[in-house]
């Protein structure tokens, strides 16, 4: 079985958050030219087979289905189904936020994950086949019908349920002050949970999502940009004595004008985190999906003038 992950581009799932920002000059440490390269992303659903498991990732979720014999003595598929036939296909709710309906969609339609048994002929010939032997495809579809299953078929399908987890939105923090002062060096980081999402496992296969690059537009979309690689060192909390010279691989920015006069007197900073979903058979050596994905958020930031005291 191949470890390559074939591309199935089905539908775009990420809505870009675009917000205009006011003018303001600034100086950035780690300029656009100095930071890591922004990867080419593909936020469409991608699926593939890896070590006998069906794996997938969207712009919001990743997971896998391997089949499992759960609880008590393992039952064969024939024992589970009794006298019922294998279900050729069935529908599941998408494990992510589906896109808008197609332009030509009729009323009462919905998005589903259609799963179909890919090795039906082999299974029907093997009375000893187990749930682990089922290879079920995974495809996002817009449908109007309902596929009915018998109780025995439902029992079998439940053993093929997706094990999944969500990729978090970027939560941008500004340090050492949440309200930066003009002329002060500000450090931009992501929370710990935004660096590596939880690893999930089924059937001896592991899948995880890892943030790789952070790009920040501190005064709004289309203005200055800073970016840095994402790791525990660059995303560490600010410590006394930290400066752009000491932590020169982190994301630093120095505002030279306040946010007064902007909408709500705030800059609308844009944070973009670039994630890679990976699979593994041992949790140590990882194989990437074909393309990274991006997650975006708009973050309001209040920048204040330095207060001076006039002494008569």
DSSP letter assigned to residue 59: S
- The domain boundary residue, chosen from 95, 125, 159: 159
Judgement on whether residues 32 and 177 belong to the same structural domain of the protein: yes
% residues pLDDT > 70 (the chain): 84
Answer yes or no: is pLDDT of 20 > 80. no
CB 220 within 8 Å of CB 301: no
CB–CB of 289/57 below 8 Å?
yes
Q: Is residue 234 part of a domain?
A: yes
117 and 154 in a common domain: yes
Alpha carbon distance 246, 197 (integer Å): 28
Same domain for 225 and 283, yes or no, is yes
pLDDT of residue 8: 34
Count of Cβ atoms closer than 10 Å to residue 302 Cβ? 17
Q: What count of residues does the chain have?
A: 312
Token pair for 180: 């930066």
Same domain, 205 and 274: yes
Q: Which of 138, 159, 180 is the last residue of a domain?
A: 159
- Same domain? For 274 and 174 the reply is yes
Domain that holds residue 140: 68-159
Model confidence at 272: pLDDT above 90: yes
- Tokens, residue 64: 């896998």
pLDDT tens by residue, 97-149: 888 999 999 999 999 999 999 999 999 999 999 988 898 989 999 999 999 99
DSSP 133: G
Closest CA to 234 of 219, 249, 220, 252: 249
Q: Poorest-confidence range of 123-132, 189-198, 245-254?
A: 189-198
Tokens of 102: 């197609």
Query: Residue 214: helix, strand or coil by DSSP?
Result: strand
CB 142, CB 102: distance < 8 Å: yes
106 and 137 part of one domain: yes
Q: Which of 128, 159, 190 is the last residue of a domain?
A: 159
Pairwise CA distance, residues 171 & 167, whole Å: 12
> How many domains in the chain?
2
What does the pLDDT read at residue 19? Answer: 27
């Amino acid at each position: 079985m191949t470890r390559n992950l074939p591309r199935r581009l089905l539908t775009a799932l990420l809505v870009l958050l675009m917000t205009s920002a006011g003018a303001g000059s600034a100086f950035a440490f780690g300029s656009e030219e100095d930071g890591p390269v922004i990867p080419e992303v593909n936020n469409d659903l991608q699926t593939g087979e890896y070590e006998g498991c069906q794996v997938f990732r969207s712009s919001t979720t990743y997971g896998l289905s391997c089949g499992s014999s759960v609880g008590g003595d393992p039952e064969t598929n024939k024992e589970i189904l009794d006298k019922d036939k294998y279900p050729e296909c069935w529908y599941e709710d998408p494990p992510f936020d589906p896109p808008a309906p197609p332009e030509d969609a009729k009323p009462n339609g919905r998005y589903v994950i259609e799963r179909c048994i890919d090795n039906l002929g082999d299974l029907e010939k093997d009375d000893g086949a187990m749930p682990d032997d089922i290879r079920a495809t995974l495809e996002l579809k817009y449908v109007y019908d309902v596929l009915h299953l018998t109780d025995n078929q439902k029992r079998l399908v439940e053993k093929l349920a997706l094990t999944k987890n969500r990729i978090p939105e970027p939560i941008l923090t500004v340090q050492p002050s949440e309200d930066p002062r003009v002329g002060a060096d500000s450090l931009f980081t992501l929370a710990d949970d935004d660096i590596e999402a939880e690893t999930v496992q089924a059937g001896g296969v592991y899948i995880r999502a890892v943030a790789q690059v952070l790009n920040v537009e501190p005064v709004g979309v289309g203005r200055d940009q800073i970016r840095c690689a994402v790791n525990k060192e660059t995303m560490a909390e600010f410590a006394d004595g930290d400066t752009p010279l000491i932590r020169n691989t982190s994301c630093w920015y120095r505002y030279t004008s306040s946010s007064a006069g902007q909408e709500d007197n705030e800059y609308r900073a844009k944070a973009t985190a670039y994630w890679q979903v990976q699979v593994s058979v041992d949790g140590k050596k990882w194989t990437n999906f074909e393309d990274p994905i991006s997650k975006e958020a708009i973050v309001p930031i209040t920048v204040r003038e330095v207060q001076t005291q006039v002494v008569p």
